[in-house]
């Protein structure tokens, strides 16, 4: 059975056609660890919980596209309903729907350590909120016809590998974005979308200390907000992110990037995640032997929802050994997992870069300041991890998270089924363009200093809308 079906059962989804004025959008997003002292157990426990869900099957009727991690690395504010009300949601490239905790929800989280108050969406308080009924096309394509109860509407039940669950129903309501009509000029614009209204959460979803109001998924399924906004054919299913782990900050954009230019590699088809073909790997020119299953099955996943980078044990050992051959240090184990050492000079001058070569000769280089964490002064740890991740077919998996993706503009082009990247100063700006040829500079911003979600547009004559999210990623 193909990997996509092994990782998660996928069902065909019909998405309503939305009356959508071609537009560009900007979200401002913040890292969940912003303002906190980094602790490796935070990163490791986050990734462990996420991986138990990433590789899990999901109970029907919703199907396998709606997995979330227990706590998101990045969150943003969005507005839902009429009148619009603000909600904090995770931004996740590994899931496919927007869902919000709704009233009543006795098991939904009530507190968070992320410096904002949690809110429950109230259908009765929104004049534009509507249930998605059993006879709705959206429901008929994601649910068995005999499982939907007319009195409840189109509902979902999700079961994750760690036994966390989410239950609720689908509704239609207004998603309000801030429309940018020119440089630094904005105004509100609302679009109707279908999203999940969660009424019962359990496990980590119900009591996570870094809880948010919901999840905004940017996966490949037609259930995502991106796909819904692109349903008319005017919008392109293209998004990109640029994460700055040096100064903090970054950009998350949906639409065509004009500059910097990126080189692209094909996505592996028929996969649940963003898989690419890793053809080679080297440490400053010294090649490493890749497991055959990685090359043969395209078992390399790019995931911005994961913090570190995970390799099969044999490849991990070879990677660490080759790095230490270039710069010998005395390693000791921290928190039973992390290889750490004392060092007093510039790591970029002493340690070698690590390069990944993908299909079509596209390279991605990770520098020492990316793959080494500082716990305290002169104490460093490797961000590389021996993952032990496999599919149900026992094929080994490489998982490349923010450690590899930081300080680069990474572009996901779902329409052309390619992923590309380029080294970039993520605290600066990128240029984006719309279908009419207009080009705009978009830079990083801070959610705490300007808590809003922005959208850029060039009147109603634009042919290709563009969505842009600027965010802070404070390490």
Q: Which residues are tagged catalytic?
A: 92, 303
Q: Are 354 and 283 in contact (CB under 8 A)?
A: yes
Query: What does DSSP say about strands 155-159 and 165-182: parallel, antiparallel, or unpaired?
Result: antiparallel
Q: Are 323 and 426 in contact (CB under 8 A)?
A: no
Angstrom CA distances, 384 to 310, 323, 423, 434, stand at 6, 11, 20, 38
DSSP structure class, residue 124: G
CA–CA separation, 308 and 21 (whole Å) = 39
CA–CA separation, 414 and 467 (whole Å) = 14
Q: In what order do the strands lie in the sheet with 338-342?
A: 332-334, 338-342, 379-382, 372-376
E strand map for 337-463: 338-342, 354-358, 362-366, 372-376, 379-382, 384-386, 398-400, 408-413, 418-423, 429-433, 439-443, 453-456
Look at residues 122, 135, 130 and name the one whose alpha carbon lies nearest to residue 199: 122
Upstream peptide bond of 260 is cis (omega within 30 degrees of 0): yes
Report residue 207: phi and psi, to 5°. Answer: -140, 20
CA–CA separation, 473 and 177 (whole Å) = 21
DSSP structure class, residue 289: P
DSSP structure class, residue 390: B
DSSP structure class, residue 290: P
Provide the sign of the torsion angle of the four alpha carbons 416, 419, 424, 426, taken in this order.
positive
Q: Are 170 and 138 in contact (CB under 8 A)?
A: yes
Query: What does DSSP say about strands 466-472 and 24-31: parallel, antiparallel, or unpaired?
Result: parallel
Residue 393, sorted as left (phi over 0), alpha (psi -120 to 50) or beta, turns out to be: alpha
CA–CA separation, 285 and 356 (whole Å) = 11
Neighbours of 165 (CB within 10 A): 17
Q: Are 108 and 101 in contact (CB under 8 A)?
A: yes
């Amino acid at each position: 059975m193909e990997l996509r079906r092994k990782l998660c059962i996928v069902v065909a989804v019909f998405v309503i056609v939305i009356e959508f004025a071609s537009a560009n959008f900007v979200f401002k997003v913040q890292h969940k660890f912003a303002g906190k002292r980094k602790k490796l157990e935070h990163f490791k426990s986050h990734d462990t919980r996420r991986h138990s869900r990433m590789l899990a099957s999901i109970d029907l009727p919703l199907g396998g596209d709606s997995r979330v991690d227990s706590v998101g690395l990045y969150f943003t504010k969005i507005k839902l309903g009429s009148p619009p009300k603000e909600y904090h949601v995770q931004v996740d490239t590994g899931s496919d729907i927007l869902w919000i905790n709704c009233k009543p929800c006795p098991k939904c989280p009530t507190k968070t350590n992320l410096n904002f108050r949690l809110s429950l969406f109230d259908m009765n308080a929104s004049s534009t909120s509507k249930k998605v009924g059993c006879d709705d096309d959206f429901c008929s394509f994601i649910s068995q016809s005999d499982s939907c109860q007319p009195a409840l509407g189109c509902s979902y039940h999700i079961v994750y590998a760690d036994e966390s669950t989410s239950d609720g129903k689908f509704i239609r309501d207004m998603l309000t974005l801030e429309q940018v009509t020119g440089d630094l000029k904005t105004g509100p614009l609302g679009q109707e979308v279908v999203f999940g209204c969660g009424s019962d959460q359990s496990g980590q979803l119900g009591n996570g200390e870094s809880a948010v109001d919901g999840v905004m998924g940017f996966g490949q399924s037609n259930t995502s907000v991106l796909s819904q906004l692109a349903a008319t054919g005017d919008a392109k299913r293209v998004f990109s992110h640029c994460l700055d782990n040096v100064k903090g900050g970054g950009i998350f954009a949906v639409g065509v990037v004009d500059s910097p230019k990126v080189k692209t590699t094909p996505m592996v088809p028929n996969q649940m995640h963003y898989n690419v073909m890793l053809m080679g790997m080297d440490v400053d020119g010294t090649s490493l032997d890749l497991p055959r299953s990685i090359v043969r099955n395209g078992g390399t996943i790019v995931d911005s929802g994961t913090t570190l980078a995970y390799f099969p044990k044999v490849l991990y050992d070879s990677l660490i050994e080759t790095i230490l051959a270039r710069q010998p240090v005395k390693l000791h184990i921290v928190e039973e997992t992390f290889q750490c050492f004392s060092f007093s000079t510039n790591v970029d001058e002493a340690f070698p870069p690590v390069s990944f070569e993908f299909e079509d000769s596209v390279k991605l280089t990770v520098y020492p300041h990316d793959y080494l964490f500082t716990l305290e002064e002169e104490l460093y740890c490797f961000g590389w991890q021996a993952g032990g991740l496999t599919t149900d077919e026992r094929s080994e998996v490489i998982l490349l998270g923010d450690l590899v993706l930081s300080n680069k503009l990474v572009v996901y082009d779902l329409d052309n089924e390619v992923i590309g990247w380029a080294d970039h100063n993520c605290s600066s700006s990128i240029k984006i363009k719309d279908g009419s040829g207009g080009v705009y500079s978009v830079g990083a911003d801070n959610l705490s200093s300007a808590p809003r979600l922005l959208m850029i547009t060039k009147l109603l004559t634009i042919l290709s809308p563009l969505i842009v999210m600027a965010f802070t990623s404070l390490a």
